[in-house]
């Protein structure tokens, strides 16, 4: 069983490293200049332009809509219609939204509200529309794509700064340190000229970064000693990080820097 796992890990490591054009022996080549993967982004309209209104702190949706001349009846009707989809009584400050207006029946009549769209997160919106004098609501869920990218860096002062210099989210350094917590004492053993590299999943919504998935492979070279790791997954479930050479788990009985 262990032999089968080792073979699977070697195949997985080779596949992951091939995605970013790396060799199967080392992730870091000592004489290669540090590079960061550049991501081409499409033209994106800022959220502030798409959703010009925002719920401020210490306010409610109802009070904000009343400031925008939305009638109490319309507010009540569309909030009621939306409740099976989203409870607007629990809306949080900072949520942005846009309003759809119809054509007034007369010049003196109030401009009717015929719909609204609320931006809850990059992947979740709620849209309410008035059709045939009835309000309907539905939730919109954007597709989250995943792309595999790599980052690498060299420590010149601190590990955190090396991540910033590599134009990488420094929080990923915490994940890197957690992977190798049994091999390296990151509180006391980080040295100038230490090298690191990760292959990581990036979540993307409509071409814009949304967050991070798993670190698929990583390495850390500390004082000339190379530590390598590859994520072992079965049926989409993660089962920890292993040495890609012999299939052994990186977890040990004791951490190098116990909390």
Report the distance separating Cα 95 and Cα 57, nearest Å. 10
Q: What are the structural domains of the chain?
A: 2-42+144-242 (3.10.450.350), 47-141 (3.10.450.350)
Report the distance separating Cα 156 and Cα 166, nearest Å. 12
**Does residue 94 come out as left (phi exceeding 0), alpha (psi in the -120 to 50 range) or beta?**
left
User: Which among 251, 235, 255, 253 is positioned nearest to 243, based on CA atoms?
Assistant: 251
User: So what's the pLDDT on residue 247?
Assistant: 83
Sign (positive/negative) of CA torsion 14, 17, 157, 175?
negative
- Rg (C-alpha) for the chain, rounded Å, is 26
* The two three-digit tokens of residue 254, written as one number: 């004791």
User: So what's the pLDDT on residue 51?
Assistant: 93
User: So what's the pLDDT on residue 108?
Assistant: 56
User: So what's the pLDDT on residue 147?
Assistant: 92
* The two three-digit tokens of residue 133, written as one number: 């004098």
Report the distance separating Cα 196 and Cα 170, nearest Å. 13
Exposure of 230 by Cβ count < 10 A (0-12 exposed, 13-18 middle, 19+ buried)?
Answer: buried
CA–CA distances in Å: residue 226 to residues 36, 162, 192, 219, 222: 21, 18, 15, 7, 6
**First-to-last C-alpha distance (Å) of the chain:** 34
User: So what's the pLDDT on residue 207?
Assistant: 80
Residuewise pLDDT in 10s, the chain (259 residues): 555 555 455 545 544 544 444 444 455 444 444 444 444 555 667 888 899 999 999 899 999 999 998 888 889 998 999 999 999 989 999 999 999 987 765 555 566 789 999 999 999 999 999 988 899 999 999 999 999 999 999 999 999 999 999 999 988 999 999 999 888 888 888 999 999 999 999 999 888 888 999 999 999 999 889 999 999 877 666 678 998 888 888 876 455 555 5
On whether the CB atoms of residues 219 and 184 are closer than 8 A, the answer is no
The phi and psi torsions of 52 (rounded to 5 degrees) equal -75, -20
Q: Is the pTM of this model over 0.75?
A: no
């Amino acid at each position: 069983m262990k032999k089968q796992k080792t073979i699977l890990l070697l195949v997985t490591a080779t596949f992951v490293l091939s995605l970013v054009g790396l060799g199967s022996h080392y992730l870091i080549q000592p004489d290669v200049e540090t590079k960061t993967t550049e991501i081409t982004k499409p033209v994106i309209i800022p959220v502030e332009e798409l959703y010009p209104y925002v719920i401020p702190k210490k306010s409610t949706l109802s009070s904000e809509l009343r400031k925008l001349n939305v009638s109490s009846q319309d507010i009540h009707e569309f909030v009621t219609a939306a409740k099976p989809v989203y409870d607007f009584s629990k809306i949080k400050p900072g949520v942005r939204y846009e309003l759809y207006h119809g054509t007034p029946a007369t010049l003196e009549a109030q401009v009717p509200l015929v719909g609204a769209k609320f931006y809850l997160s990059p992947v979740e919106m709620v849209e309410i529309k008035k059709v045939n004098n009835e309000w309907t609501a539905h939730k919109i869920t954007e597709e989250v794509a995943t792309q595999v990218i790599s980052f690498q860096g060299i420590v010149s002062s601190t590990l955190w700064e090396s991540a910033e210099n590599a134009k990488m989210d420094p929080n990923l350094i915490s994940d890197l340190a957690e992977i190798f917590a049994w091999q390296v004492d990151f509180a006391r053993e980080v040295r100038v000229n230490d090298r690191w590299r990760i292959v990581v999943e990036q979540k993307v919504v409509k071409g814009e970064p949304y967050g991070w998935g798993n670190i698929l492979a990583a390495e850390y070279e500390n004082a000339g000693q190379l530590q390598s790791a590859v994520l072992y997954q079965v049926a989409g479930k993660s089962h920890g990080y292993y040495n890609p050479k012999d299939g052994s788990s990186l977890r040990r009985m004791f951490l190098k820097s116990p909390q």
